[in-house]
């Protein structure tokens, strides 16, 4: 712990934990943001050499502004040129007074700086190091670098995403990065619990590839139960293993307005038919059973959409839900910001950045009754906390700082 226990703010479960954060892009910063939300002092090590990448130092770049302010909320920023010996030396001094070091580089970067786990243990014996590489630090692909879209393809997610008559598409966003971030934060918490019990730190070798592959239950179940690894096919919005119909996303009145409907049982089908006022096509005997609806799924989808297209998605959702049928609006980003459930629970909130500009961020998706946590400030501007980190934490003098500035340590 880096803070006297008597000074710990009871609202934050991780107050007193300090994290040296070398992560960038999405997966790593989202992991350390979870820690920052619970009060950990996360010091983001930044460099001008990474300005143009989403989540990188420059908050006003076209690709950086939204992501940076969301993934780096509540963190501190230290500009440090790790291409200089002095920059590396300062980073190591910071490790000596910290609890966690997080990085998501390839396996070559930290050892090149002399900051692999074994080296960090000599600096801080109980340090916890989180290494979030794309494929893990062992195995034939351990030296590969990766991004979300490639890992989504490698994990099998893209194979499952799309329609039967189209090529694999994959999700539009880097779903893999979010999964890796949550896995990284979870692993750090487990290591902190272990250290609190034993006094021992440890190295966390996290594979983002494995984190996402673990969610591909359909592929693995088919392999383990049926001994067939490629039989699962893309089914669009339908379930790959049957069990109902209609089951999909249907166009509604308006431009790009959709609703999701899921009917599993014959009783739910009867409720659905009544809810849509029993049109002639819906009372056809061929749709009376689950097997019949699955057999004629394409035609059924067309007929269901002929009804949904006459109504707004909200109208469809409410009417079907009142009848006991599962249905939900396909929401856009604007819809989510105005969603009454998310608004009531305070999922979106505004926090000020370093210039006092209010930035909308996402809250944690859980609420702890004793340690609710939550960010109180937005993401930092590049190098905003140089004085605090270098002077207050490390005790560097004016002469030290001047010499480092001349040598380009803070570029």
Q: 3-state secondary structure string, 314-372? A: HHHHHHHHHCCCEEEECCCHHHHHCCHHHHHCCCEEEEECCCCCEEEEECCCCCCCCCC
CATH code of the domain containing 320: 3.30.1540.10
| Residue of 21, 37, 99, 177 marked active site | 177
* pLDDT at position 212: 92
Do 131 and 180 belong together in one domain?
yes
- Name the domain count of the chain: 2
* pLDDT at position 233: 77
Q: Who wins on pLDDT, 68 or 258?
A: 258
Within a domain: 254 = yes
Do 278 and 364 belong together in one domain?
no
Q: Which of 167-176, 219-228, 285-294 has the lowest mean pLDDT?
A: 219-228
| 3-state SS class at 119 | helix
Q: Which domain holds residue 40?
A: 5-214+345-406
pLDDT at 349 over 50: yes
Q: Which of 2-16, 210-224, 288-302, 349-363 has the lowest mean pLDDT?
A: 2-16
Do 288 and 149 belong together in one domain?
no
Do 50 and 157 belong together in one domain?
yes
pLDDT at 132 over 80: yes
| 3-state SS class at 216 | coil
Q: pLDDT tier at 242 (50, 70, 90 boundaries)?
A: low
Do 148 and 72 belong together in one domain?
yes
* pLDDT at position 56: 45
pTM for the predicted model, two decimal places: 0.89
Q: Which of 19-33, 239-253, 394-408 has the lowest mean pLDDT?
A: 239-253
Q: Who wins on pLDDT, 219 or 205?
A: 205
* pLDDT at position 220: 73
* pLDDT at position 49: 65
Do 196 and 270 belong together in one domain?
no
Do 96 and 181 belong together in one domain?
yes
How large is the average pLDDT for residues 6-27? 85
How large is the average pLDDT for residues 271-286? 94
Segment 29-55, tens digit of pLDDT: 999 999 999 999 999 998 876 544 444
Catalytic site residue 177?
yes
């Amino acid at each position: 712990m880096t803070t006297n226990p008597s000074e710990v703010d009871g609202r934050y479960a991780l107050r007193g934990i300090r994290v040296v954060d070398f992560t960038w892009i999405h997966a790593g910063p989202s992991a350390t943001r979870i820690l920052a939300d619970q009060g950990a002092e996360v010091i983001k090590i930044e460099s001008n050499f990474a300005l143009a990448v989403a989540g990188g130092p420059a908050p006003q770049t076209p690709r950086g502004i939204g992501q940076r302010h969301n993934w780096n909320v509540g963190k501190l920023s230290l500009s440090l040129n790790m291409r200089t010996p002095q920059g590396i030396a300062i980073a190591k001094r910071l490790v000596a007074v910290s609890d966690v070091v997080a990085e998501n580089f390839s396996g070559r970067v930290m050892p090149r700086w002399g900051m692999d786990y074994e080296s960090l243990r000599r600096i801080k014996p109980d340090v916890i190091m989180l290494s979030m590489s794309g494929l893990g630090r062992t195995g034939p692909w351990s030296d590969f670098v990766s991004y979300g879209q490639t890992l989504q393809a490698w994990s099998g997610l893209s194979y499952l995403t799309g329609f039967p008559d189209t090529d694999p598409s994959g999700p539009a966003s880097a779903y893999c990065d979010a999964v890796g971030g949550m896995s990284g934060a979870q692993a750090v918490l487990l290591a902190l619990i272990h250290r609190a019990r034993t006094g021992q730190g440890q190295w966390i070798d996290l594979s983002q590839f494995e984190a996402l592959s673990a969610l591909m239950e359909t592929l693995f179940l088919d392999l383990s139960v049926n001994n067939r690894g490629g039989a699962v096919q893309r089914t669009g919005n339908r379930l790959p293993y049957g069990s109902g119909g209609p089951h999909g996303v249907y166009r509604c009145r308006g431009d790009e307005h959709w609703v999701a409907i899921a009917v599993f049982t014959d009783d739910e089908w009867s409720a659905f038919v009544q809810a849509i006022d029993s049109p002639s096509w819906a009372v056809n005997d061929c749709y009376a059973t689950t097997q019949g609806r699955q057999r004629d799924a394409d035609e059924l989808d067309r007929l269901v959409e002929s009804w949904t297209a006459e109504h707004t998605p909200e109208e469809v959702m409410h009417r079907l839900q009142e009848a006991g049928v599962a249905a939900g609006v396909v929401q856009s980003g604007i819809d989510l910001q105005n969603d009454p459930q998310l608004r009531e629970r305070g999922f979106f909130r505004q926090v000020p950045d370093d210039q006092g500009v209010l930035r909308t961020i996402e809250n944690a998706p859980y609420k702890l009754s004793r340690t609710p946590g939550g960010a109180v400030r937005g993401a930092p501007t590049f190098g905003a906390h140089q004085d605090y980190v270098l002077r207050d934490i490390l005790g560097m003098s004016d002469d030290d700082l001047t010499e480092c500035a001349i040598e380009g340590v803070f570029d």
